[in-house]
Structure 1
Amino acid sequence: MPDIRIPSFSYSFTESDVAFITDEVGRLFREGRHLTMGAHGEALEEEFVRYTGVRHAVSVASGTAALEIALRSLDVAGGEVVVPTNTFGATVVSVLRAGAVPVFADTGDDMSVSVADVAAKLGPRVRAVVTVHIGGLISPHTLELARLCEERGIPLVEDAAHAAGASLQGRHAGSFGVAAAFSLFSTKVMTSGEGGLLVTDDERIRDRARLLRDHAKNPDGTMSTTGYNWRLTEMQAIVSRTQLRRLDEMVRGRNAVAALYDERLAEVEGIRLLTPPTEAVHNRYKYIVELERHRPRDVQKILRDRYGIALGGYVYDVPCHLQEAFRSYATGPFPGADRMCPAHICPPVYPDMPLSDAAHVADALSEVLRG
């Protein structure tokens, strides 16, 4: 078996990034500054507000925390929340932890949630809808979904864990719902290892998020409700700030790889490429290829064993309605998810990926699929 020559993902930190990080972390210790929720956390929030165009940002411990806080701020407890069945389980867990019952909606052709199925699931107990920007694409259907939610008087929340740097019609992720949750996890386009950001135009949600992230402590240290330890450290904020400064640059690098894939895979039969519309900036967290004739696990094994290529993680191969933890909430059918989730692969994409490596991946994938 050959060594993995091309990994599934790779970080992007320049020498100036590393110098800024090490200098600022050293200053924290030398000057005895706060190590959690300090000046860098505040600066990250301000810079993310300027980047997204949303009025408020609150730094938290994870994207999952941001989503749970958003849902708790909307008082969904005792009701239902419509969520895509094609999502990471943490989306559903956030609904459960916020005290609501998840109602699964099917998948559309671009792997985002089906607006028609959401509309069919909007019963009298639904208190919010969550959409997920799968793979870093803000689906054009998001506009239709936002109109539907507005007409029904139901808040739309964006799970933007994949979507830092993505936009649609000039609007950044986070600007389509009443609140949005971003992840800074290790594999994400913008990362600090762990962490998250909640964005909103609503001052009440902002204030609620600031309260809940720090155990819901009142100024006197007492609690009138319960929160959790959802704080972001200064070290994570420092790393995140370097990533945010280069976010557009990193997205351009990812799209250069995706453009090469598009060109070299365009004529391959038996696949469908999920090509973004012209009005969208896809951040290319994932490059999704739907397979019509091959089993993803077989393709993954051949690329790894024969060509030294590691594929990225699926988004997602087992939809939530089929997972044991959530099966009791499933009220199907889910034909879109049942077709697409187990039938796709994600070739590696990262901002500093040499185009020669991308060409090797595309050519190897073409050989495998044609064979």
Structure 2
Amino acid sequence: MKGKQTGTFFELGCYSLYPGKVMTSGEGGVIVTNNKKLYDKLQMIRNHGMVKGYDSKIFGLNLRLPEINAAIAKIQIKKLPKFIQSRRRNAKLLSELLSDTKIKIPFEGKNEKFNWSLYTIATKNRDSILKKLNSKGIGAAVYYPTPVHKIPIYKIKSKLANTDWASKHVLSLPVHPKVPVKNIEYIAKSVRDLVNE
């Protein structure tokens, strides 16, 4: 939605602070809301359903972020704009270097601005290319090689053709802030060489 930040489309927004994300606290996550009723309920849920003391009012869990993780997040959030700027730079360069290949590369649509948490491409022979990239020291990865709807615990009989196709063709290339320009160039050259074999 034009002019809206991720996590602000509805009454609740959720962010993961897992180590591989755009920003981390080592582990954990954040929920944002501007709804006071939801905020109060979430405060109870994260603390065993308690309001104060040991008086549980609703079902809750132990979901409090430890102090050390919160301290890390507090510093990391100050660095977030630079993290995103670096990811955007790396993604832009990678797109430029791969734009004339047969690879399907990600792109921002009108009124979209990605944080480039992942830079995911689609290609034939994905598994072979992934293995060769990894053997060259490139941290390419496949997220969700088994689509969620095919995980036995969910028992979903839906046919999701696009999801099934993606699970066999996509892989993600590193664009995080610690990847220098020379490495982005090396990644692009390696991908180009492999898809042109």
TM-score by length of structure 2 reads 0.94
Would the aligned equivalents of 2:17 and 2:26 in 1 still touch at CA under 8 Å? yes
Partner residue in 2 for 1:302:
132
Query: Counterparts in 2 of 1:62-73, with a 5 A limit?
Result: none
Q: CA deviation at 1:219?
A: 2.3
Change in CA separation of 1:191 and 1:313 when aligned onto 2, cut-off 3 Å: farther
Pairing 1:275–2:107 present? yes
Measure, in 2, the Cα distance between the counterparts of 1:302 and 1:355. Answer: 21
Q: Deviations over 1:190-224 (max 9, x none)?
A: 10111111111211110000011011113242223
Normalised to the residue count of structure 1, the TM-score between the two structures is 0.51
* Counterpart in the other structure of 1:238: 71
User: 2:154 aligned with 1:321, yes or no?
Assistant: no
Contact 1:311-1:345 within 8 A present in 2 as well: yes
Please state whether the residue corresponding to 1:181 is helix, strand or coil.
Answer: strand
Q: What residue is the counterpart of 1:109 in the other structure?
A: none
Q: CA deviation at 1:342?
A: 1.9
Deviation of 1:278 after TM superposition, in Å, equals: 4.2
Counterpart of 2:161 in structure 1 is 335
Which consecutive unaligned segments of at least 5 residues does structure 1 have?
A: 1-142, 144-168
CA distance in 2, matches of 1:303, 1:177: 39
Distance in 2 between residues matched to 1:233 and 1:263, nearest whole Å? 42
SS at match of 2:165: helix
- Once the two structures are TM-superposed, the CA of residue 277 in structure 1 deviates from its matched residue by 1.6
Q: Quick check: 1:300–1:310 contact (8 Å CA) kept in 2?
A: no
Counterpart Cα distance in 1 of 2:87 and 2:110: 16
SS of the residue aligned with 2:90?
helix
Higher relative contact order (CA 8 A, sep 6+): 1
Where do 5+ consecutive residues of structure 2 fail to align?
none
Shift of 1:313: 4.1
1:287 matched to 2:115: no
Correspondence 1:184 to 2:17? yes
Q: Distance in 2 between matches of 1:218 and 1:262?
A: 50
Alignment coverage as a number of residue pairs: 197
The AA in structure 2 aligned to 1:311 is A
Whole-angstrom CA distance in 2 between matches of 1:170 and 1:249? 20
Structure 2 vs 1, CA of residues 367 and 220 (structure 1 numbering), >3 Å: closer, same or farther? Answer: closer
**Is the strand fraction higher in 1 or 2?**
1
> Which of 37, 41, 45 does residue 212 from structure 1 map onto?
45
CA distance in 2, matches of 1:215, 1:290: 43
**1:351 matches 2:197:** no
Among all aligned residue pairs of Structure 1 and Structure 2, give the percentage whose two residues are the same amino acid: 25
SS at 1:171 equivalent = coil
Distance 2:75 2:141 in 1: 24
